[in-house]
Structure formats: structure tokens, C-alpha cells
Amino acid sequence: MGSSKGLDALFSDWRPFGYDLQHAMENLKDHYTFPIEEAVIVENMDNCIEEPDYKEIQFNIAGEILEIKMIGFGMDYETFTEKLPKLMSTTKVSRRGLGHYGWGMKVGMFVSKYMEIETKYKDFHGVQQWKFDENGQPSYKLIPSKHKPSKEDMTIVRHYLTDEYAKKITPDGIKKTLQKFYPTVIDGAPVLGRKLSVLVNGEKVDPPQSPDIRYKENVTVKIKGEKITGKFFFTRDPLPEEERGIAIIVYGRLICREYFGMISDKITGYLHADILEKAVAGDKTSIRRTSPEWRELTQKISKKLAEFMRKVGVLKEEPEIKEDLKIVNTQLAKILKDFPELNPMKFEIVENVLIERSEGGILAKLEKGSQTVKGTQGKEGEGHGVEVKPGKDRKKALSKDMGDLSAIEKKRKIKSGPQVRFVTKPDIRKEAWFSEGEGIVYINRAAPSYKKADKLGTRVRQCHEIRCAIDALLEWAVRAERINQNEYFDVRTELFFKWGEV
């Protein structure tokens, strides 16, 4: 049916929604970890973002009526009359975005006495009302339009707010919600190939206030052939806790903030990572960390973030205590042999190395190195030192500095396990943390517990460092969903028993 003729005669009585389960609606309300009045704003914003033909969204509020107008697209007859008034049924055309469950618009029923949804698409124009009936069941009916259809295609959602939410939903509150969840969209970043205009009561929403940035750096990585872009920022002053870390933005929506194992109160930034679409969980405020896309992103970004933090002077590794490193790293490796879920270093690291040969090649000389490898001339032998960091065995290694030796440059893959490094970070209230991409456990010498252990002698300090490393890896394993929270204490107990045996 291509027009609205006969629509009013279709039916005008209240009818139950297609997937009519009261508990489904109640579960929907409990699903959100942030206020329901914010959910109404973000769910409609997500709907607008996900249809790339929408070019503008307007939030207009006066008294008890909140009107959300999305301009540039609409719903056809079948979508409007059959798909829209159903729970668990999506009306999306683009099939790209965060809406997978078909309930985003329905959350507005919890803040409304009733709702009106009006759409105009080509020659179709329709209006329907939604409300909870006397039994608390979601119901709807088609009604004649009170308004002349616009020339442009559009969808309008009108909330006739309850007294409670008419007080809670304000122009200022809407702006703050949009700034909180869509900082880069409001600042003009394109999403799904276009820039989206966002207005509240006729005024464009200003982007959130930027901190005083001292240094910034563009970031680009590729995950499964898709480009992930963003920025790192180093601020002059410490940031509020909710602004620290790197914002993960998927289809314009800020999902969460992530430290990537690099903790600082002056580091912030963002990444546009639409490839994580299927990894977004729950009420779209967390990422499923078992996702292969997330794991690959974590490994690549944590390395880049560590490089940035070293560059700006935030991450300064302390001189190594060689005896501590040897004991801690050796015992850690032995412990993790029986706990593969706590050993993330299952990938191979590619290193550029120089290997001596009799024929011509790069001129080099031997310097202090770290590991030995077999030669490449097809012969068995002891091998020569190669330049590999962080390094374990302090043997001679080939250097690119001019010398009288001939060498060839090759890429070599080596397997690695978590390594311990020391930092002094009095601004961070953590004993230790793990950077998955680097494979490094950072132990904080500024922590009061470390200082106390150090005063009690070498053995106590080393035990403290091993305990910190184990706890940092356990914390990572829970966050990365290698183990669940219920398993945490049992695994920790087993770990420390294993350490005692080692």
C-alpha cells in the first residue's frame, strides 16, 4: 500500500503490541545502567544515526511535550503498520549500527503518558499512538493526522511526558546527555558517511568543553582491513576521572573509556571503531572483550598509547633491578605454565635482527645484546647474539653501528611472556597494571605497599613484586573475560599455591 488512503479505516481501537510480553518490557527498563530519561534521548539519536538518509535531528521540549524530529527519511506503509508496533522487531533499513533488538524507541513509553509516532515517506503519511493499557501491556492504535504532511521525508516521535519526567527532562539535560554520549558527532565528525546536524529547541548543541591540551597525536590502525582512527591527548592538568582514558566510539556513540593498560590522570582521547559493532554488549556501555576485533585493537592501540606516553614523559620506566627482574620473570613464567588463561602472550613478536654471515652485507659490530639464535647458513651451531628487547641473556649482539663484521637483516618471530617493568606514579592509586599489547606488567614504586616492602628487605620486595604481577594479570583476565568474577578467588588461590610450590 503506497499511500495513507484507507489507513484510518484499518483500525482505530487500541491493540496489543506484536510481541506482547509484560516481562519483556520490564526487562527492557532494567536493562539500562544509566537513567531512563537519558536512554530516551540516546535511543532516538542512535536510530537517527543508523539511517544515513537522516541529515538532522531536532529535540524540542515545551512543558510536558518532548518532540524528536528526524529529517530526511521516513518509514513506508509496511514498516510503519507491521514492524514498528512490535517488540523485538527492527525497522532499520541500513542494517548498520547499534540497534539490534527493535526496542530502542519503545523505552520512551516509560516516561510518557502516551506517545505519538508520525512518519512521512514519499506519498505515505501515517500516525500512531502508544501507551501502556490498564494491565501494563504495551498497546498501540493508528490515528488520523492532526498535522499537514511536510514536504520532506521525516519521522517525528512525540512524548507526552508523565509529571515525574516532565520535571527531569529539560533542554539543558538533553544537551548534557548528547555531549556525554556523542562528543565527536556534535563536534562535526562524520558518521556513516555524513555529518549530522543536532539541535535542541532550535539551537545547535555545542561540543563538550575541551581540556587544556598540551600535546595531541593522530592515531590510525587497521583491524581486518577496516581503518580505525582517533586522537590521543596529553593535558596540562589532571582530568576528572570520568574523562580519563580513551573513549571507544561506535557509530557515533561513546560506549566506554579504556586505559589499554596505560594509566594516567592526564591522558584522554578517542577512537572511532565501528568494526566493534557486534562486540557492543548490554545497554551499549560495554564491549565484549572476547571479541577477536577487540583483542586485536587492544594489542595495537596499547603499543601506540605507550609510545605516546613515553614521548610526552608520562611513562618513564625506572632503572631495572636485575636481580628482581630475573626472579620475578622466571617465577612468573613457571606459574603461568599451568594457567594459560592468564598468559595473554600467545602471539609471536616480529623483531628486526642482524645475523652475521661470511658474504657481504651490512657492516656491523658486536655490542652488549640479549639473546642467541641459530645462524642462517644452514649449519648447526651455537648461533650469535641478536638485538632483542627487553632482553634476558646479556650476551654479545650485532649492532648496526659501523664495524668490520658483515651481517644480513632479517625479520625473526619470537614467543614472549609477560615481563615486569617498574614505574613511579604517585598520581595513580594502583600497585600494578598490565598492558596486554606490550605484554608488560608495570609495578608502581610510588605505591605505599611497595615502599614498605622495600624497607623490609630484598626478599620481601621480590615477593611483593611477584604478588603484584599475579594480581595485575588476574585483574586483566577478568576484564578481558578470560575468567569470570565468580572464578576469580578460586583461580587466585590456586595461583598462590602454585607459586608456593615454585
DSSP for 417-469, please give it. Answer: --EEEEE--TT---SEEEETTTTEEEEETTSHHHHHHHHT-HHHHHHHHHHHH
| pLDDT score, position 376 | 40
Mean pLDDT of the chain: 83
User: Is residue 390 reached through a cis peptide bond, with omega within 30 degrees of 0 on the bond before it?
Assistant: yes
Of residues 102 and 16, the one with the higher pLDDT is 16
* Over residues 312-336, mean pLDDT: 85
Q: Check whether 479 has a pLDDT greater than 80.
A: yes
**Residues, the chain, total?**
502
In Å, how far from its chain's centre is CA 20?
34
Q: HSE-up of 290 (CA within 13 Å, CB side)?
A: 7
* Over residues 42-51, mean pLDDT: 93
- Specify the 3-state DSSP secondary structure of 15: strand
Candidates 295, 336, 316, 297; CA nearest to 419 is: 336
| pLDDT score, position 416 | 57
Residue type, 48: C
Q: Check whether 446 has a pLDDT greater than 80.
A: yes
Q: Is residue 415 packed enough to be buried (19+ CB in 10 Å), middle (13-18) or exposed (0-12)?
A: exposed
The DSSP call for residue 80 is I
Q: Crossing angle of helices 485-501/322-336, nearest 10°?
A: 120
**168 φ, ψ (degrees, to nearest 5):** -85, -35
Of residues 500 and 467, the one with the higher pLDDT is 467
Q: pTM (2 decimals)?
A: 0.77
**296 φ, ψ (degrees, to nearest 5):** -65, -40
Quote the CA–CA distance of 52 and 93 in Å, as a whole number.
9
| pLDDT score, position 87 | 67
C-alpha cell at 377: 647458513
Neighbours of 99 (CB within 10 A): 22
DSSP string over 334-380: HHHTT-GGG----SEEEEEEEEE-SSS-EEEEEEE--EEE--SSS--
Q: Check whether 22 has a pLDDT greater than 60.
A: no
Quote the CA–CA distance of 383 and 371 in Å, as a whole number.
10
Neighbours of 112 (CB within 10 A): 23
Candidates 335, 286, 298, 283; CA nearest to 474 is: 335
The DSSP call for residue 18 is S
- In this prediction, residue 190 has a pLDDT band, given cuts at 50, 70 and 90, of very high
Query: In the chain, what are the domains?
Result: 7-204 (3.30.565.10), 213-311 (3.30.230), 322-344+418-501 (3.30.2010), 348-415 (no CATH)
| pLDDT score, position 2 | 45
Quote the CA–CA distance of 338 and 358 in Å, as a whole number.
43
Of residues 334 and 282, the one with the higher pLDDT is 334
* Over residues 197-212, mean pLDDT: 95
Are the C-beta atoms of residues 364 and 404 closer than 8 Å to each other?
A: no
Q: Is residue 320 packed enough to be buried (19+ CB in 10 Å), middle (13-18) or exposed (0-12)?
A: middle
Of residues 432 and 13, the one with the higher pLDDT is 432
| pLDDT score, position 150 | 82
